[in-house]
Copies of this chain bind each other. A is one copy, B any other.
Amino acid sequence: MRIALAQINPVVGALKKNAALMANTYGEARSAGAGLVIFPELAVTGYPPMDLLLYSGFLQQVERMVTAKLAPLTAGGPAMLLGAPWRFGGALYNCALLLENGAITSVHRKTLLTGCAGFDEHRYFAPSPRQESMQIGGLTAAIAIGEEIWGEHGFYPRQDGGPDPVDELARLDAALLIKLSASPYLYGKHAWHEKNLARLAAKSKTPIIYLNQVGGNDTLIFDGTSLVYNNRGELICRAASFETDLLYVESETLFAPARQQLAPLADNIETIYRALRLGIKDYIAKTGFKSVVLGLSGGLDSAVVAALAVDALGPENVLGLLLPSPYSSSHSVEDAGELAGNLGIRKRVIPIEKPFEAFLDLCNPGGSPLLDLAEENLQARIRGTLIMLVANREGRLVLTTSNKSELSVGYCTLYGDMAGALAVLADIPKTMVYDLAEYINRRQGKEIIPRRTITKPPSAELRPDQKDEDSLPPYRELDPILELYLENNMAPEEIIAQGYNENTVYKVVALVDRSEHKRRQAAPGLQVTSRAFGAERRMPVARGYDYLEGKEE
């Protein structure tokens, strides 16, 4: 039997569009002689559908799409295995449905719900107590949805005593494990994933077909990268990463030695680049927009975002605004202009001096600058307001450019440089932004991002001769501390025990904790780590800090 892996890019909530996409893909696979066409987890709704699942009207429409649009296609055609939310006995389950001969003939309901990664499946779904199997084209297949199979790795320890799909394979006499997923990209995921799927297949002597959704949905970037392992745990097929794909595998090959094993996929800066590019592209398209605007400061972050946006959307859809203030260096406008020229995008120069003066006239004695923090924020907010004015008028979305290091310590202005629709670098530490810049230039074989933009000391240029390092530790020192605090959940004392400077650690931790209110109102940020701000890190704003011993009270 020829099995088709339909690695599609659904739009969350667009049930008709998704069903039409599935029908087209199914038709193509049918023409190619497939006997089974597999779609990802919750393919009909797109993942994650979030609170749309609380609307029974929405669930009715899902049911209508499956029974009236998709199931009829299988009358006389290949079988279809797809993910959809489905109701049984008053409860909602995250299901894999097998459609054959025009009807639903078999169902697997997810047993282990995903509580992390902002999915909160407990909010919507009941867990099934039973692992079920399906008869597909003469094979007995066990189905796993999402992370059900990772119990033994401690990610999802089965404290509820529910079944583990891998342990159940023998009882079910399953010849095959099919894993439907909507698994977002996280840096380092590919290597981990491939190692452990191979191990599970080898250990259980059972082939694994892993089909993953692709595409950006809000801040999540699903990478696709669907995989097929034979019963020796050898990787025999891999679908494209960050692109839709339709992959075929012959069922015989699942039970035979691999003719050639694929080399493991390693994550590197190119993976991050491709993830962010897809994230931008889909966010803009799926919100119904075409073009973007962003501020170009002459600095590194905006240069990298502009380059990514150009690759995602085309230079004709990217507008750069150069918004110099009285404190801008001469090179900032030059460097930003050079970048715009290199990228082939339109640019507009709007000096912010006049509105700045108008605000100072209203609020400062004699209208003279006080050079305080409020005036630094004021400049950022004037820029934000100008960018939004252009965006509103021209129907563009605003890309913000703050990186994860800045967002972590609050080195950014709410309603100023934080104002926008999508924060492209929100999960990218500054040190990695440098790597992205070098990669962008290497990729093009020329200096798209001007050398001076990369080499000059980072500066917000909000007061004379300001440098980031006046307020913050150097990024090469800051970023590892942030990683230990934010990703590894280490207490300050534990970080200090790793050899970091005590004062620096307490300062950084205090900056992070005290800027929670900014992140609460930040633009949605693309996620590429396991502790992206937003759904991944949920901290109270109004709180006490006195559990931090040492410097804080």
A residues sitting closer than 8 Å to B (CB atoms) are 11-18, 46, 48-52, 54-58, 60-61, 91, 113, 115-116, 120, 122-123, 126-127, 129, 157, 159-161, 216-218, 282-283, 286-287, 350-351, 354-355, 357-359, 361-363, 372-375, 377-378, 381-382, 384-386, 388-390, 392-393, 414-415, 419, 421, 489-494, 517, 520-524, 537-547, 549
Contact = CB atoms under 8 A, between A and B. Distances in A.
A377 B392 contact: yes
A218 B491 contact: no
Contacts of A393: 363, 372, 374
A100 B375 CA distance: 57
B386 A542 contact: no
Contacts of A60: 491
Nearest to A54: B489
Given A57-B491, A538-B51, A545 B377 contact: no
A16 B123 CA distance: 33
A13 B514 CA distance: 13
A159 B116 CA distance: 20
19 contacts: A11-B543, A13-B544, A13-B545, A18-B544, A49-B540, A51-B538, A52-B539, A116-B123, A120-B123, A127-B159, A160-B160, A286-B543, A355-B362, A357-B358, A363-B389, A378-B389, A382-B385, A388-B414, A521-B521
A390 to B, nearest CB: 7
Contacts of A286: 542-544
A218 B540 contact: yes
B493 A57 contact: yes
Number of copies: 2
A119 B354 CA distance: 47
Contacts of A129: 161
B381 A388 contact: yes
Across the A-B interface, give the 7 residue pairs with the lowest CB-CB distance, nearest first.
A14-B544, A57-B491, A286-B542, A374-B392, A13-B543, A115-B122, A415-B415
Contacts of A539: 50-52
Contacts of A120: 115, 120, 122-123, 538
Contacts of A415: 381, 384-385, 388, 415, 419
A23 to B, nearest CB: 14
Contact of A12 (B46, B372, B386, B540): B540
A414 to B, nearest CB: 7
B363 A160 contact: no
A14 to B, nearest CB: 2
Given A15-B547, A355-B355, A543-B286, A388 B377 contact: yes
A45 to B, nearest CB: 9
B17 A546 contact: yes
Contacts of A18: 544
A358 B350 contact: no
A544 B17 contact: yes
Nearest to A493: B57
A359 B378 contact: no
Contacts of A48: 540
Nearest to A546: B16
B386 A363 contact: yes
Contacts of A161: 129
Given A12-B543, A16-B544, 10 more contacts: A11-B544, A50-B538, A54-B489, A56-B489, A57-B493, A362-B386, A373-B392, A385-B415, A388-B415, A421-B517
A317 B18 CA distance: 54
Contacts of A157: 91
Contacts of A357: 358
A414 B392 CA distance: 11
